[in-house]
Amino acid sequence: MINFIKYRFVYLAISAVVIGAGIVSIATVGYQYSVDFVGGTSLQYAANKDVSLNELNSALKSHESNTKEVEVNEKQIDIRIDAMEAAGEPELRSSLENALGANLTLERMQTVGPTLGAETVQKMLIATLFGIVAIFTYVAYAFKGVHFALAAIVALVHDVLVVLGVYSIIAYFGGGEFDTLFVTALLTTMSFSVHDTIIIFDKVREYRRTYGTGDVAMYANRALTETLIRSINNSMTIVFMLLALTLLGGSTIRFFIIALLIGTITGTYSSPFVATPVWVWLEKHSIRRGKKKSDI
C-alpha cells in the first residue's frame, strides 16, 4: 500500500501552481470570445492560392466594415468583423477578391446579435449551477455523507479552474476561442471529474461497510492503491481517443478536443490527489471537533 495522503502538500502545491498560472493568464490575456458570446460576424474563406496577411489587412481596411481580427493559414482566411447582414457578404467577398487577386469560397459565416451573446453566458452559468447541485445531491445520497459530496465538488471546481486557466494559456498561443463548444467541454469535464472521483469513493464506501468506521487515511490510501491501475488505464484510453482527434481530426473541433484533453487529465489527477485528501481532511476535522465536544 502506498501512502498517498502523506504527500498531500505536494499535491496542493502542484494544483496551486497550475491554477495560479491559469488565473494570471486569465487576468492578463483572457480569452478571445467567439461571436456566440460577444456578437458580430465571423467569416471563413478558402482561397485558391496562398494569401498574405498584409494584403488582406489592407484590403479589409479599404472596406468599410470594422475588422476585429484576421487570421490567415495558407489558403484559409478567418475574419471577425462587426455584425453584418448576409446580403453584405458577396460585396465584401468580391472586394477582397479584387484586392487579393484570388478566388474566395465562403466556407462558414456566422452572425450573432449582441443580446444573444449575453443570454448565452447567463444560461450556461445557470446550467452549470444546476449541474453542481444535481451532482452534490446525488453523491450525498448515494454515499450517505455530505463529506463525500463536498470533496467531490471541491475536486470538480478545481478541475473547472484548471481547464479555464490552461485553456486560456493554450488558446493564447494557439489561437483558440472561448465558444459554446468550450463551455460544453467544461461541462463534460465536470461530469468526468465526478465520475472518476466516485470510483475511488466507492472503494472507501465498501471498506466502511466491511470493516466499519476506522482509520480514514488508511482507507483512503488503500482505495487509491487499488484503483491506481484502473485510473491510469482508463485515462489512457480516453487520452488515446482524444489525441487521435486532436492530431487527425477536423480543424473546427480541434480546440474543443484540446479542452476535453485538459479536462480528462485534470479530472484523473484530481480524484486521488484533490478529492481524496479533502475528504480525509473533512473526516478528521469533524472527528477532532466531535472529540473536543465530548471532552467537555
Partner 1 sequence: MIVVKRLLILLLALFVLWTIAPENVAINIPPALSGGTPRSIVLNPPVIDVTIFGKEIHKDFRTRLGLDLRGGAHLVFEADTSKLKSGDIEDALTSARDIIERRINSLGATEPSIKIVQLGDSYRINVDLPGVDNTAQAVSLIGQTAQLSFREELELPEELATLSGQLLAFNPEPALLGNDVKKATMAFSTHNGQPEVQLEFSKRGREKFAELTTKNVGKQIAIYIDEQGISAPVVQQPIVAGNAVISGQFTQEEAKALAIAINSGALPLPINLIEQQQVGPTLGASEIQKSVTAGAVGLAAVMIFMVAYYGRLGVIACLALLIYASFSFSIFRAIPITLTLSGIAGFILSVGMAVDSNILIFERIKEEQRRGRDQKSAIRLGFGRAIDAIKDANITTIAVALILFNPLNWSFLPQFGLIRGFALTLLIGVGMSLFTGVFITKKLIELFYRHK
Which residues, 26 to 85, sit near partner 1 by CB under 8 A? 44, 46, 85
Identify the residue among 242, 262, 265, 278 touching partner 1 (CB under 8 A): 242
Binding span for partner 1 by CB under 8 A among 10-18, 54-62, 133-141, 274-282: 133-141
Q: How far is the CB of 202 from partner 1 (least distance, A)?
A: 4
Q: Is 107 in the site for partner 1 (CB under 8 A)?
A: yes
Distances (CA, A) of 59 to 168, 190, 211, 286: 31, 44, 75, 67
Q: Of 67 and 191, which has the nearer Cβ to partner 1?
A: 191
DSSP string for 258-285: HHHHHHHHHHHHHIIIIIHHHHHHHHHH
DSSP single-letter state for residue 29: T
Query: Should residue 94 be labelled a site residue for partner 1 when binding is judged by CB under 8 A?
Result: no
CB of 267 to partner 1, least distance (A): 11
Asked if 131 touches partner 1 (CB under 8 A), the answer is yes
Q: List, in order, residues 6 or more apart from 77 with CB less than 8 Å away.
A: 43, 44, 45, 46, 47, 51, 56, 70, 71, 104
Residue 226 interacting with partner 1 (CB under 8 A) = yes
Residues in region 144-173 near partner 1 by CB under 8 A: none
Question: By CB neighbour count within 10 A (0-12 exposed, 13-18 middle, 19+ buried), where does 48 fall?
Answer: exposed
The full DSSP string for 155-178 is: HHHHHHHHHHHHHHHHHHHH---B
Long-range contacts of 16-19 (CB under 8 A, 24+ apart): 18/162, 18/165, 18/166, 18/266, 19/158, 19/161, 19/162, 19/165
Query: 27 or 127, CB closer to partner 1?
Result: 127
CB within 8 A of 115, min separation 6: which ones? 39
- Piece of the chain touching partner 1 by CB under 8 A; list 23-31, 52-60, 132-140, 167-175: 132-140
String of DSSP letters for 131-157: HHHHHHHHHHHHTT-HHHHHHHHHHHH
247: contact with partner 1 by CB under 8 A: yes
Q: Does 252 bind partner 1 (CB under 8 A)?
A: yes
* Shortest reach from residue 199's CB to partner 1, in Å: 5
Based on the shown chain and the rule CB under 8 A, indicate whether residue 139 belongs to the binding site for partner 1: yes
Pairwise CA distance, residues 120 & 127, whole Å: 11
- Least separation in angstroms between CB 79 and partner 1: 14
Cβ 28 to partner 1 shortest distance, Å: 29
245 interacts with partner 1 by CB under 8 A: yes
Site for partner 1 contains 87 (CB under 8 A): yes
* 210 is an interface residue for partner 1 by CB under 8 A: no
3-state DSSP assignment of residue 101: coil
Residue 142 is a binding residue for partner 1 (CB under 8 A):
yes
Residue 2 sits in the site that holds partner 1 (CB under 8 A): no
Give min distance, CB of 132 to partner 1, in A: 9
